[in-house]
Amino acid sequence: MSPIKIVLAASAMLAFCAPAYAADAPVTPIVLPKPPAGKGQIVFFRPGAMGFALGCSVNENGQKVSSLGSGKYFVMVTTPGRHEFTVKSEAKDTLALEVESDETQFASCKIKMGIMVGRPDLRPATEEEFRKNAKLKLVDADDMGPGPGALRPDELKAALAGAAASAAPADPAAPAVANQ
């Protein structure tokens, strides 16, 4: 048997004998914290598809907030008011958002066809659009820039832990405190 036929036969056997891939595993829904009191937040995400090798580097005021690789997301906590974000490759795209206190907004970055490389398209999105991309993963801390606001993985974990602690039921054995 020729070496090529051996490789093909081995590949075919592996295809039938391989265990189920993680794609078949159930997907855990992404849990987002509420914004801190008096702040708003924006969840930036990049669905995986066109231009998977390109990233969307989200900037505000000329500073990188975070890069968004294909299938990634990050949460940015910010002050209420108008914010302008830019992404750039061979073309530049800008998104202006009016952030309100205690509000969570969503923004999607997609890569469209360009002349030489893909063109980033940064636009407002809905929570439903974010949720239908169930396999999104949090951006790594080393992809985040010096710009303020993007919650690093440890900060997001702490925000979620704080929310869970404040939502926990009170200890029934603890004495009740009357309002005076």
Number of domains the chain contains: 1
**CB under 8 Å to 58, separation ≥6 — which residues?**
44, 64, 65, 66, 67, 68, 85, 86, 87, 109, 122
- Res 51: pLDDT: 45
- Does residue 113 sit within a domain? yes
- Res 168: pLDDT: 55
- Res 93: pLDDT: 86
Q: What is the CATH number of the domain that holds 40?
A: 2.60.40.1120
- Res 114: pLDDT: 57
- Res 118: pLDDT: 66
Residues of the chain with pLDDT under 70: 1-27, 49-55, 89-90, 113-118, 166-180
- Does residue 179 sit within a domain? no
- Does residue 90 sit within a domain? yes
- Does residue 173 sit within a domain? no
- Does residue 96 sit within a domain? yes
pTM: 0.74
- Res 1: pLDDT: 53
- Res 8: pLDDT: 37
- Domain of 98 in residue numbering reads as 21-27+36-141
